Structure 1
Amino acid sequence: MAVKQQLRMVAYRTFYRLPSRWKRRIVRTFQPTYTVGAVILVRDPEASRILLLRQPPGAGWSLPAGLMDRGERPVQTAARELAEETGIKLPLERFRPANPNALVHTRGQWIDMVFEVEVEPPAELVVDAAEVIEAAWHRLDTLPPLTVSTSQLLAHYGIGPYKDYPEVLTK
C-alpha cells in the first residue's frame, strides 16, 4: 500500500471517530453555510437490489455519497463519488434526479441531492479501504443494518425499515 493511501486511510478513520459536532465544524470551516452533497441510489436492472457501503467506523451500511467540490454540479459529484467509492464509472447522462431530488436537513444545515442509476452489478467492486471498508449489493427485502441517516433517506423512496413511518419524512 502506498504511503499516500495509508495517510489517507488514517485521516479518514480519524475524522470518522470525531464527535459529530467536531466533524460538522471541520466541514463548516470550508463550507460555512449549508453543506451540499450528492447521494446515489444505485439499483440493479431488476430493481431488486441496491448497492450499499460500509464506511469507518463501520457501524452500519450507507449509500455512496460525498460533498460537492466548488464549481462542481451535483450530478458531477454523484458520478465522481460513485467512481471513487466503488470503481463504477458512468457518464453523467446515466444519472437521473430522484424524486424528491433535494432533501434539506435544516438542523444539521446540509442538503442531499439524490440521484438514481441502474447498473448491472460488476464482477468486482473497487474500494480503497480508507473511505470505504466494504461495498456490496443487498436485496431490498433483506437489507443489512443501516445507518440512521441512510434509513431516513431511503424512507423517502419507499425503501428500508422506516418506509412505513410517515413521521420520519417530516423531519
Structure 2
Amino acid sequence: MPQPPQSSRKPASRWRASAYKVFYALPKVVRRRLVRIVAPTYTVGAVMMVYSPDRSQILLLRQPPGFGWGLPAGLLDRGERPEQAAIRELREETGIDLGLEAISPAAPSAVIHTRGRWVDTVFVTEVEPDSVELVIDGAEVWEAKWWPVTAMPPITVAASRLLAHYGLGPYADYPEAARVD
C-alpha cells in the first residue's frame, strides 16, 4: 500500500527558533500587545447604500468639511456587529429607522482600503423617498438628499472609490480608480 506523502520541513534558523521560544514564554496579554504593535491594524466601518425601490435614486449626505457628498456611514462600536452599526448610523444621520430584515450585504460586502488601513462593510436597502422624512442634526450632517444615480453631485474621493465597486459614481468607468490602495 502506498504511503501518503510526508510534509517536508525546512529547518528554522536558530534565531527564529529562539525568538518563537521567547515569544510563547511571554504572558498571553504581552504576546497580544506585541502582535498589535507589529501587525497592521484596521479600523472597521459600516456603510449603507440607500436606494429608491426602482434603484433610480440614492441617498447621499453632505458632511463637514463639505468638500463633497458621501454615504451614510460610521465606525463600529466595540462589540457591535457591522449590520447593527450600519442601521445605527443611518438612523443617527438621516432619521431613517430600519430593522435587520430590511438590509442586505452588498456585493462585495466589504472593501479594504490598505493605504488608509480601514475596512468598509457595505449594506444596501431600499426606501421609498416619499415615505420618509430626512432628519439631520446640522452638525454631523449638513444635508441629506435623494439624487438620481445617473446625475450625482460632486462625491468625496472615498465615496467615489467605494461607489465604483458597484458601478456607480464618477469613477464607475475607471476600474483602476476603484483600486483600494
TM-score range, shorter chain: 0.7 to 0.9
Q: Which residue of the partner structure matches residue 48 of structure 1?
A: 56
Distance across 1 between alignment mates of 2:132 and 2:88? 20
Amino acid at match of 2:73: A
Q: Which residue of the partner structure matches residue 168 of structure 1?
A: 177
Distance across 1 between alignment mates of 2:145 and 2:44? 25
Aligned counterparts, 1:20-39, within 5 A: 33-39=41-47
- Cα distance, 1:56 vs structure 2: 0.6
Q: Which residue of the partner structure matches residue 33 of structure 2?
A: none
Of the three residues 132, 137, 145, the one matched with 2:146 is 137
Distance across 2 between alignment mates of 1:123 and 1:96? 19
Of the three residues 141, 147, 156, the one matched with 2:156 is 147
Partner secondary structure for residue 150 of structure 2 = helix
Partner secondary structure for residue 141 of structure 1 = coil
Aligned residues: 140
**CA distance 1:45–1:57, change in 2 (3 Å):** same
Which protein has the larger Cα radius of gyration, Structure 1 or Structure 2?
2
Any stretches of 5+ residues in structure 1 without a counterpart? 1-31
Cα deviation per residue 1:45-71 (whole Å; 9 max; x = unaligned)? 010000000001111000000000001
Cα deviation per residue 1:22-54 (whole Å; 9 max; x = unaligned)? xxxxxxxxxx92100000000000100000000
Amino acid at match of 1:162: Y
Contact 2:50–2:127, Cα closer than 8 Å, also in 1: yes
- Cα distance, 1:142 vs structure 2: 0.8
Distance across 1 between alignment mates of 2:132 and 2:95? 11
Q: Is 2:78 aligned against 1:70?
A: yes
Q: Which residue of the partner structure matches residue 157 of structure 1?
A: 166
* Deviates further, 71-80 or 113-122: 113-122
Give the RMSD, CA atoms, in angstroms.
Answer: 1.1
Q: Which residue of the partner structure matches residue 86 of structure 1?
A: 94
Partner secondary structure for residue 153 of structure 1 = helix
**TM-score (structure 2 length as normaliser):** 0.75
State percent identity of aligned pairs.
64
Aligned counterparts, 1:101-120, within 5 A: 101-120=109-128
Moved over 3 A (4+): none
Q: Which residue of the partner structure matches residue 29 of structure 2?
A: none
Contact 2:161–2:179, Cα closer than 8 Å, also in 1: no
Amino acid at match of 1:93: E
Q: Which residue of the partner structure matches residue 27 of structure 1?
A: none
**TM-score (structure 1 length as normaliser):** 0.79
